[in-house]
């Protein structure tokens, strides 16, 4: 029989058992429009807990931009800097992958707002027909387009054997009450067409290794014992699957991209028994919480 997965009333229920939180950003700390105040407060209270080792929070985001850019967005939304110690993004990992290919001729698929991901790197942005590498940060217009709008170009690139770096493995993110398509959808379509794709970010192992290394660097010591690390996020496919694959605990935030499936898409809805839904998922979290709070 599958063990029952607990629903927490607050993170304080399990906080004492952990030294490090690898926390998702979009869907946990904000909804794309405003901060979730209680989530920031919970992280601050966790960081203030006493213990033999200082409690740390590393934000781990599939945002296709460098960590400092995510920090500025969090400032604008009102997420306090005191809620976290460091930020690691799929944009950071993408920059590392591009740096391994000096002089790359890159076809960028994504909006102009993501161009900062290329800043200071040895590369040239070129049209599709001249590219020897594709970097996908998203759709050009994620409010109107779908992957079908890219099928012809992706087919041509795949036939030429041009590899793709996916700078955001998410399929969708929550923005207010809408789900917005992400680069992961284009990368999946590219793979279906036979294109070779490298994913930078969750749920893939390198992002967790880099996050632990970043946490260790804060204290000048080795990475935390995995048994005292927990990943917090709102997506089964990335946050929970990534934590499971890496061998660490995970906490699923219900009011995120799965809110409608879990019946909490409206503010007056309350999280009920989610055992049947969880049993149908390919991976399961260690625990569930309606929203991250203390």
DSSP string covering 148-217:
GGGHHHHHHHHHTT--EEES---SEEEETTEEEE-HHHHHHHHHHTT--EEE-STTSHHHHHHHHHHHHH
Burial 257-266 (b: 16+ CB within 10 A, else e): bbbeebbbee
Report yes or no: 80 and 47 within 8 Å, Cβ to Cβ. Answer: no
117-129 average pLDDT score:
97
pLDDT bracket for residue 244 (50, 70, 90) = very high
- Predicted pLDDT of residue 82: 97
Higher pLDDT, 273 or 140: 140
Q: Residues 247-285: pLDDT tens digits?
A: 999 999 988 888 788 877 667 676 767 888 888 899 999
Q: What is the DSSP letter of 124?
A: E
The chain-wide mean pLDDT, for the chain, equals 92
pLDDT bracket for residue 177 (50, 70, 90) = low
49-56 average pLDDT score:
90
Q: Residues 2-21: pLDDT tens digits?
A: 568 888 999 999 999 999 99
Query: Rounded distance, CA 24 to CA 277, Å?
Result: 22
Domains assigned to the chain: 7-91+203-289 (3.40.50.1000), 94-199 (3.40.50.1000)
Whether 288 shows a pLDDT value over 90: the answer reads yes
Whether 209 shows a pLDDT value over 90: the answer reads yes
- pTM for this entry: 0.90
Question: Tokens 């080792």 label which residue?
Answer: 53
Whether 168 shows a pLDDT value over 80: the answer reads yes
Report yes or no: 21 and 42 within 8 Å, Cβ to Cβ. Answer: no
| Residues across the chain | 294
Question: Backbone phi, then psi, for 283, in 5-degree steps?
Answer: -135, 160
- Predicted pLDDT of residue 276: 86
């Amino acid at each position: 029989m599958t063990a029952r997965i607990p629903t927490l009333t607050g993170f304080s229920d399990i906080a004492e058992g952990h030294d490090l939180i690898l926390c998702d950003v979009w869907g946990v700390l904000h909804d794309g429009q405003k901060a979730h105040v209680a989530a920031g407060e919970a992280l601050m209270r966790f960081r203030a807990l006493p213990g033999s080792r200082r409690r740390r929070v590393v934000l781990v985001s599939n945002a296709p931009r460098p960590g400092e850019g995510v920090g500025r967005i969090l400032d604008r939304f009102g997420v306090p800097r005191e809620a976290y110690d460091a930020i690691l993004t799929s944009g950071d990992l993408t920059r590392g992958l591009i740096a391994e290919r000096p002089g790359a001729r890159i076809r960028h698929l994504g909006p102009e707002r993501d161009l900062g991901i290329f800043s200071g790197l040895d590369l040239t942005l070129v049209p599709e027909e001249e590219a020897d590498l594709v970097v996908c940060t998203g759709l050009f217009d994620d409010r109107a387009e779908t992957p079908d709008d890219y099928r012809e170009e992706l087919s041509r690139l795949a036939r030429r054997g041009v590899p793709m770096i996916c700078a955001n493995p998410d399929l969708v993110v929550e923005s207010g009450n809408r789900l917005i398509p992400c680069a992961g959808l284009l990368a999946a379509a590219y793979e279906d067409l036979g294109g070779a794709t490298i994913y930078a970010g969750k749920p893939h192992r390198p992002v967790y290794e880099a996050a632990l290394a970043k946490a260790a660097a804060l204290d000048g010591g080795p990475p935390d014992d995995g048994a005292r690390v927990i990943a917090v996020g709102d997506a089964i496919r990335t946050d929970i699957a990534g934590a499971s694959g890496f061998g660490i605990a995970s906490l699923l935030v219900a009011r995120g991209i799965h809110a409608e499936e879990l019946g909490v898409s409206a503010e007056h809805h309350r999280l009920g028994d989610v055992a049947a839904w969880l049993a149908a998922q390919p991976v399961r979290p260690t625990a569930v919480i309606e929203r991250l709070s203390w």
